[in-house]
Structure 1
Amino acid sequence: MSPSKGRPLARGRLLALLGILLCAFSLRSAVASLSPLLDYIAADFTVPTAVIGLIGTAPPVCFAIFGLATPLLVRRLGIERVTVIALAAIAIGLVLRGFFAGGSVSLLLTTALIFAGVGMGNILVPPLVKKYFTDRIGLMLTLYTTAMAFSTFVPPLVAVPVADAAGWRVSLGLWGVFAIAGAVPWIMMLMTGRTSSVESPVTSLPEPVEGREASIDDPVTLSTGPIAVAPSSARLFGRLMRLPLAWSLAVVFSTSSIMAYVSFAWLPTIVVDVAGVSAAEAGLLLSLFAVMGLPASLLVPVLVVRFQATRGLYAVGAATGLLGIAGLLFWANPVTIWLWVGLFGIVGVMFPLALVLISIRSRTPESAVALSSFVQSTGYVIAAAFPVLIGVLHEATESWTVPLLVMAAVLVIATPFGYIAGRRRTVEDEWERRHGRW
C-alpha cells in the first residue's frame, strides 16, 4: 500500500504519533548532551580520561546487549509496556545523572542506565511504526529520522548556555522531560485499552518484483535503528558469516557508529585543544557535526532505493570525512574549524545508508531479521572499542594526531567494503551464486 492511499496520519492514532516522535527525540538527546559539559562537571569532581572513554563506549555496548534482551521482554509484556519501561529508564537516568551524580563512578553508572533505556527504545520504535502506521511507513520513516536528527544537534546547541544560566546539573537533567512526555501517550493508551485496536505488526519484507529493488513506498519497515536482532535462525546467521556482502554491510554500519560515538565522546575536547575555541563554541561545533546528518536522513532512503546511489553516497561520506580530519590535523584555527567539522559531519550519511541497505539486501522476513542481527550486533561490538581506544591513544601521546589518524585509517580501510555493499543483490542471491540453493 502506498502511503498516499492510507488514512490521514493522525486519525485515531494521534497518541501513537506523539509517543513515537517523543520517544525518537529521547534516543539521541541523552547521547549528545553530555560531552559539551565535561569541563563544567570537572570543576566539581574529577572525570578521568578512562571514564570519558567508557561513557563513549556505553551506547554501542548497551545497544548490542539490549538488542538481544528487548525482544524477549516484548514477548512477555507487550511492546507498549516495554516502551514505557525504556522511557522510564531514560528519564530516571537523566535525572539521577543531572542532579545526583557526585563522582565519576556515579556519572558512569547513571549514563549506563540511560543507554540501557535508549538501547531498548532503538529496537522498539520501528515495530511501533509498523503496528500503528503500516499505511504510512515512508512518511513515518522521514518523521522518525528527522526527530532523531533534531535530538542529536539541539542538545549540544543549548547545553552550555543552559549550564551558564542554571548550572550543568540542570543542563543535563532537563532532557528527562522529553522522556517523561514520551511515556505519557503510551500510558494513556494502555489505560484506555487502545493498544489492541490495531493489527499486530508484521515484520516483513515484500517479495521482490523482478527487475527492481524494494521501494521506500512498499509496506515494509525500513530500519531506522536497531530492530529485533535475535536471529530467527542459527542456520541463516551462520550462512551470513560466510558472505562478503553481509560483512561489508557490518563494516559500513560499524564505521558509521565509530565516527558518531567517538565524536559524541571526544569532539568537543578535540576542537578546544586543536583550535583553541571556548567550551560554548565546542558545543556548537558538536551540534554542527550532528546537524550535517539531517539532510542525509531525509534524502538517503530515496537516493538508495530509487536511484541505487549506494557507492556514490559512501564515497561522499568517506571523502568528506577524510578531508575534515585532515583539516583538524593540519589547518585548524578558530575560523576554519567550522569548515572542517562541517565536512567531517557529512560522514553521517553512512548511518541511514547502512540502515536502508539492511532492509533491501534480503528477500524474506526470516533472512531480513537474521541480516539485521548480524550487521547491527557485529557493528556495535566493533564500534564499542573505539571511544576508549581514542582516549587511551590521546593520553599516551598527549596529542590528537595519532587518534585522528586512526579515525582516518578506519575510513580508508572501510572503503572497499562500501564498494561491495553497493552490489545490487540480496544475501540470498550471493549465497546461491557461491553455494547453490539458499
Structure 2
Amino acid sequence: MTAPTVTAPQPTTRSRGILLVLVGIVIVAVNLRAVVTSLGALLDEVRDGLHLSGALAGVVTTVPTIAFAVFGATTPWLVRRVAPARLLVIAMVVLSVGQFLRVLTNSPVAFIGLSALALSGIAVSNVLLPMMVKQHFPDRPGLVTGVYTLSMSAGAAAASATAVPVAHAFGSWRAGLGVWALLAAVAILPWLPAALRRGQQVLRRPGHHPGARIRPARTRIGWAMAVFFGMQSIAGYATMGWLAQLFRDSGFSPSTAGLLLAGVTLFALPFALLAPALAGRLRRLDLLILGLTALAGVSYVGLAVAPHGGAVLWVTLMGIGQTVFPVSLVVIGLRARTPEGTVALSAFAQSVGYLFAALGPLLVGILYETTGGWIAPLAVLAVALVVQAVAGLVISRPQFVEDEAHAPGANGPVEAIEPTAAAVLAETGPLAEPLRKAA
C-alpha cells in the first residue's frame, strides 16, 4: 500500500506579497546613500580626472541635499499620476542610468547634471518609502523603518569602503562610481512584476476630490515635522562633512579620524534598529526624542572640552543621538492617517529638511574658517538641537496631518477620512493585489 503523499503547506499569497514588498524596500534602501558616499570617497580622484575647480567641487558636494529637496517635493504630484510600484521602478531606473552615464563624461557640467539626475531617483524613493511602510506594515512601522534605515547605513558604509578599492582594481575612479549603477538595477527586480501588472491604481484617498488635497505647509504638524527633520539633517550632514577634520585638529592621524567618523554609524547600529521600533510602539514620543537629543548635546559639549581624550565616548553618544533620523521617518507615518497624507507629509518634511541640511555644513565651514576653532560651529549645532527638541515636543503628541489640513478654515472642507482596513488595501496599488485576494 502506497503511503499517502504529504504536501508541505505553501506560503499564503499574503505572506508572499508581504515578503516581496519587504525585500523590495530593503534593496531600494541600500541604494539611497551609496551614490553620495562613493563619490565622497573618490572626490579627489574625480576632481583631478574632471579638472574640477574648487567652486565646482563645492557644487558637487552640495548637489545631493538640493536634489533631495527639489525632486522630493514633486513626489506627491507624481504618485497621483503613477502607481507607487511603477514610480519606484522608474526612480531606480533613473538612478541606475544617471550613475552609469556620469562616469562616461569628461565634462564637469555634464557630470553634475547627471549626478542630479541620479539623485532625483533617490529623492523620490526617500519620500515613497515611509508611505510604503505605512501601507504594507501598519502594525510594525517602527521595526520595518529600522530595518530599512539600517539597510541605508549598510549601503552607505559599503560604498564608502569599497569605492576606492574597486577604482584601484580597475585603474579608474569611473569604475569605483559606475559599479553602483548595477546595485540600483538589482533594486528594480522585486518591483518589476507589480509594475508591469495591468489595472494598477494611482494613490487616492477614499472620497478623494480635487479640492481636498493635503497641504502640510498649511498645518502646524507639517511645519513641526519639517523643522524637526531639518534640524537633525543639519547635524547629520555637518558630521559627515566636518567631524573628521575636528579630530585631525585635535591630534588624531587622518586614518584614525576617518575611523572615528565611521564609528558614528557603527556604534549606533543597534540603536538605529531599537529607537524606531520603540517609537512605533509608544503613544507619546517626547521622552524618546528628548533623550536622544540630550545625548547628542552631551557629545557636542565633550567635543568642545575634550575632543581627544573622550573621542570614542563622544562618537558613541553622537551616533546614538543621531538615531532621531530613523525615528523621524517613523513619525512621518504615525502622523498621517492615509497613504496620501503620508506621502504629502514625507515630501514636505524632507524637502524643507534637506534645504536646512544644505546650509548646515556650509555654516559650520564658514564659522570654522572665520574663528579658526570648533567652539562656534559646535555652538550652532547645539542651537539646532534646542530647536529640534522644541519641534520634537510638537510632533511627539498623537495627531494627524489630515485633521489639521481639513479643519474648518484650512485648505478644504471637513471630511471623514479614517480609512477602513479594506480601503487601505484598495489604495496600496498593484503589489497589494495578492493581499486583497487573500483578505
TM range (shorter): 0.7 to 0.9
Q: Is the CA contact 1:256–1:348 (under 8 Å) kept in the aligned structure 2? A: yes
Cα offset, 1:94, TM superposition: 2.8
CA distance in 2, matches of 1:250, 1:364: 19
**Which structure 2 residues correspond to residues 252-267 of structure 1 after superposition, within 5 A?**
252-267=228-243
2:252 to 249, 253, 276: 276
2:31 to 26, 31, 40: 26
2:312 to 329, 338, 342: 338
Quickly say closer, same or farther: Cα 1:368–1:169, change in 2 above 3 A.
closer
Quickly say closer, same or farther: Cα 1:203–1:181, change in 2 above 3 A.
same
Tell me whether 1:327 sits opposite 2:331 in the alignment: no
Tell me whether 1:148 sits opposite 2:152 in the alignment: yes
Equivalent in the alignment of 2:123: 119
CA distance in 1, matches of 2:65, 2:96: 19
Equivalent in the alignment of 1:248: 224
Equivalent in the alignment of 2:420: none
Tell me whether 1:62 sits opposite 2:67 in the alignment: yes
Tell me whether 1:90 sits opposite 2:64 in the alignment: no
Equivalent in the alignment of 1:299: 274
Cα offset, 1:254, TM superposition: 0.8
1:313 to 288, 292, 317: 288
Cα offset, 1:406, TM superposition: 1.9
**Which structure 2 residues correspond to residues 205-216 of structure 1 after superposition, within 5 A?**
none
**Which structure 2 residues correspond to residues 374-413 of structure 1 after superposition, within 5 A?**
374-413=348-387
Query: C-alpha deviations, 1:157-215, integer Å up to 9, x for none?
Result: 4445555655544333322221121124444655xx4x348x7586779xxxxxxxxxx
Quickly say closer, same or farther: Cα 1:312–1:156, change in 2 above 3 A.
farther
| Partner amino acid, structure 2, of 1:155 | A
| Partner amino acid, structure 2, of 1:337 | A
Q: TM-score, normalised by structure 1?
A: 0.73
**3-state secondary structure, aligned to 2:322:** helix
Cα offset, 1:38, TM superposition: 3.4
CA distance in 2, matches of 1:406, 1:340: 17
Q: Is the CA contact 1:261–1:387 (under 8 Å) kept in the aligned structure 2? A: yes
Equivalent in the alignment of 1:228: none
**3-state secondary structure, aligned to 1:11:** helix
CA distance in 1, matches of 2:36, 2:393: 30
Tell me whether 1:421 sits opposite 2:395 in the alignment: yes
Q: Is the CA contact 2:76–2:347 (under 8 Å) kept in the aligned structure 1? A: no
Cα offset, 1:108, TM superposition: 3.6
Q: Is the CA contact 2:364–2:377 (under 8 Å) kept in the aligned structure 1? A: yes
CA distance in 2, matches of 1:364, 1:114: 29
Q: Is the CA contact 2:295–2:321 (under 8 Å) kept in the aligned structure 1? A: yes
Equivalent in the alignment of 1:215: none
Quickly say closer, same or farther: Cα 1:48–1:323, change in 2 above 3 A.
farther
CA distance in 1, matches of 2:101, 2:244: 23
Equivalent in the alignment of 1:225: none
1:349 to 309, 313, 323: 323
Q: Is the CA contact 2:97–2:181 (under 8 Å) kept in the aligned structure 1? A: yes
Quickly say closer, same or farther: Cα 1:146–1:170, change in 2 above 3 A.
same
Q: Is the CA contact 2:203–2:340 (under 8 Å) kept in the aligned structure 1? A: no
CA distance in 1, matches of 2:310, 2:112: 34
Cα offset, 1:26, TM superposition: 0.5
Tell me whether 1:182 sits opposite 2:187 in the alignment: yes
Quickly say closer, same or farther: Cα 1:383–1:318, change in 2 above 3 A.
same
Identity level (%)? 36
| Partner amino acid, structure 2, of 1:315 | L
Q: Is the CA contact 1:270–1:400 (under 8 Å) kept in the aligned structure 2? A: yes
Cα offset, 1:419, TM superposition: 2.7
**Which structure 2 residues correspond to residues 34-113 of structure 1 after superposition, within 5 A?**
34-41=39-46, 50-51=55-56, 53-97=58-102, 99-100=103-104, 102=106, 105=109, 108-113=112-117
**3-state secondary structure, aligned to 2:31:** helix
CA distance in 1, matches of 2:98, 2:215: 37
Q: Is the CA contact 2:94–2:118 (under 8 Å) kept in the aligned structure 1? A: yes
Quickly say closer, same or farther: Cα 1:387–1:175, change in 2 above 3 A.
same
Number of residue equivalences: 398
Give unmatched runs, 5+ long, in structure 1: 1-5, 206-230
CA distance in 1, matches of 2:300, 2:211: 40
CA distance in 2, matches of 1:283, 1:15: 37
Cα offset, 1:48, TM superposition: 5.7
More displaced 10-residue stretch of structure 1: 172-181 or 7-16: 7-16
**3-state secondary structure, aligned to 2:397:** coil
CA distance in 2, matches of 1:425, 1:134: 16
Quickly say closer, same or farther: Cα 1:76–1:382, change in 2 above 3 A.
same
Cα offset, 1:122, TM superposition: 1.7
Q: Is the CA contact 2:131–2:339 (under 8 Å) kept in the aligned structure 1? A: no
Q: TM-score, normalised by structure 2?
A: 0.73
CA distance in 2, matches of 1:346, 1:431: 34
Quickly say closer, same or farther: Cα 1:237–1:22, change in 2 above 3 A.
closer
Q: Is the CA contact 1:155–1:287 (under 8 Å) kept in the aligned structure 2? A: no
Give unmatched runs, 5+ long, in structure 2: 1-10, 415-439
Cα offset, 1:319, TM superposition: 2.1
CA distance in 2, matches of 1:78, 1:66: 17
Cα offset, 1:257, TM superposition: 1.5
